[in-house]
Amino acid sequence: MANEKVILAYSGGLDTTCCIPWLKETYHYDVVCCCVDVGQESELDGLEERARYCGADKLYIIDAVDEFCDTVIAPCIQAHAVYENKYLIGTSMARPVITKKLVEIARKENAVAICHGATGKGNDQIRFELAIKALAPDLKIIAPWRDPKWGLDSRESEIDYAHRHGIDLPFDADESYSRDRNLWHISHEGLELEDPSMGPNFEHVLVLTTPPEKAPDKVTHVSIDFEKGIPVAIDGEKMKLSDIIRKCNALGGANGIGITDIVENRVVGMKSRGVYETPGGTIIYEAHQQLEELCLDRETTAMKIEVASKFASTIYEGKWYSPLREALQAFVESTQRYVTGTAKFALYKGNIIKEGTTSPYSMYNESIASFKTGDMYDHTDANGFINLFGLSTKVRAMKLQEVAKEENVDHWQDLL
């Protein structure tokens, strides 16, 4: 009788490499590895040989870079999705696409389960499992780090387990940052980063980005064209979104852009310290925001800031496949109808400096904004507006003056 199949979300990293022999010897599954390419680049090198060597029965490498960009990154750009004011949610962005592909392979292979290597302390276990439940509620989910049969409690013990199974790894315990990379970003956790009192060893940590102090002593000028809130060209050259991100990654990385060191609040309740490199995303977000400053009215801007925060936290929490995300995205897309134009800026040693923004839908009117009195706005028009806008403030102050007089209070402001 043939063994049942499990689909392993395979990155080639330490956790999922150990999962292959563990699944086979613990549950006697045939292990079908699935690596979804969302822009890991060199991390995919040698992946097939490693999976086979570790005992995988099959490996799928699925190119989902453009799907990732067009279906997830694009709406996040439109929303300006940032978690806790700093994190551009690069890891959580990729999980919906990866999980969708895992489910597709599970159906193709008639698998009974999907396995992921996320730890029991992190956010990814939630992201993978909520997406699996939304797309394939009948499939079993195996999370080795939460399985009492796992028995591996650290990266050091995983390395030892792999060596005992004859698996040579390109990891050393003293250099084993926990990293996640895709086209949008790369994250770093572990080692000295687990101590928030220590500064990051950027010489050791950074992969995509030059430390700002070592960036060139010259300015790099860039322009990005947007249509309905989505980048469509860089420096006048039209290209697909994935290529724009690649070019912005190169420009931002060379100029020290997009390094974030944050202690964030995980969904599971603990705080976690990580360093994130998002050079291209940081540039694109800034350019998009420059354009929105011209194109969105005051009330829409205020509401969009609130929606963007909720949109980011919804994705961070793994709820991409939810009615709430769909509703939030619908609002965001409605705001982007006229966010079309060009943002120009300079990159210099970690800084993004405005150099001019234009849009055919710009709401900035120089004749109104000028200090000179014009036909559309007379300074005296503000008299009635301020009287009405401040009416409740004035009425309250008058009432307090009245009460102070009745109670013999010398300074009515003491009642505030």
| pLDDT of 401 | 83
DSSP state of 338: T
Q: Where are the beta strands (DSSP E) in 160-243?
A: 178-181, 186-189, 220-227, 230-234, 237-238
pLDDT digits (tens, 9 = 90+) for 284-316: 999 999 999 999 999 999 999 999 999 999 999
**Cβ of 28: how many Cβ atoms within 10 Å?**
9
Give per-residue pLDDT as tens, 86-126: 999 999 999 999 999 999 999 999 999 999 999 999 999 99
- Is 178 a catalytic site residue? yes
d(CA 270, CA 379): 53
Over range 126-134, report the average pLDDT.
98
Where in the chain are the domains? Answer: 5-70+88-177, 185-296+339-364, 367-415
d(CA 191, CA 180): 15
Residue 124 appears among annotated catalytic residues: yes
Dump the DSSP string for 28-94.
-PEEEEEEEESS-GGGGTTHHHHHHHTT-SEEEEEE-HHHHIIIIIHHHHHHT--BTTTB--HHHHH
Mapped onto helix, strand or coil, the DSSP state of residue 98 is helix
- Nearest-angstrom CA–CA distance, 45 and 61: 11
Which residues have C-beta within 8 Å of that of residue 253, sequence separation ≥ 6?
208, 209, 210, 277, 279, 280
Q: What is the pTM of this model?
A: 0.92
Amino acid letter, 92: S
Q: Which residue has the tokens 């420059």?
A: 290
CATH fold group of domain 185-296+339-364: Argininosuccinate synthetase, chain A, domain 2 (3.90.1260)
Cβ atoms of 234 and 244 within 8 Å: the answer is yes
| Secondary structure letter of residue 275 according to DSSP | E
Looking at this protein, which amino acid is placed at residue 5?
Answer: K
Torsion angles phi and psi, residue 190, rounded to 5: 100, 180
Q: Is the pLDDT of residue 396 over 70?
A: yes
Cα dihedral 20→26→27→30 (10° resolution): 30
Report CA-CA distances (Å) from 345 to 36, 72, 90, 295, 354: 34, 25, 23, 18, 4
pLDDT score of 378: 74
Q: What are phi and psi of 38, to 5 degrees?
A: -115, 25
**pLDDT single digits (tens) 229-265:** 999 999 999 999 999 999 999 999 999 999 999 999 9
| Maximum distance among all Cα pairs of the chain, rounded to whole angstroms | 95
> Which tokens belong to 84?
């806790």
For 341: left if phi > 0, alpha if psi spans -120 to 50, otherwise beta; the answer is left
pLDDT computed for residue 372 by the predictor: 59
- Residue-averaged pLDDT of the chain: 93
Per DSSP, 235 falls in state T
Provide the pLDDT for residue 42: 86
Q: Percent of the chain, pLDDT > 70?
A: 94
AA identity, residue 11:
S
Question: Which pLDDT band, with edges at 50, 70 and 90, does 172 fall under?
Answer: low
Q: Single out the catalytic residue among 11, 37, 95, 179.
A: 95
Which of 157, 178, 242, 272 is flagged as catalytic? 178
Q: In the predicted model, is pLDDT for residue 415 greater than 80?
A: no
- Taking 80 as the threshold, does the pLDDT of residue 174 lie above it? no
**pLDDT category of residue 413 using cuts at 50, 70 and 90:** low
pLDDT digits 0-9 by tens, 263-287: 999 999 999 999 999 999 999 999 9
Dist. CA 101–CA 36, nearest whole Å: 7
Report d(CA 370, CA 136) in Å as an integer.
59
Has 195 been annotated as catalytic? no
Q: Which of 11, 15, 50, 92 is catalytic?
A: 15
Cβ-based neighbours of 192, under 8 Å, separated by 6 or more = 198, 200, 201
β-pair type (113-115, 58-63):
unpaired
Pick the range with the lowest mean pLDDT from 4-18, 161-175, 199-213, 234-248. Answer: 161-175
Helix, strand, coil percent content, the chain, rounded in steps of 5:
45, 20, 35
Asked if 352 contacts 284 with a C-beta cutoff of 8 angstroms, the reply is no
Residue from 50, 92, 124, 325 carrying the catalytic annotation: 124
Q: Does domain 5-70+88-177 have CATH number 1.20.120.430?
A: no
How far are the Cα atoms of 33, 62, 341 from residue 59, in angstroms, in the given order?
5, 10, 44
pLDDT of the residue at 185: 98
Residue 335 pLDDT level (bands cut at 50, 70, 90): very high
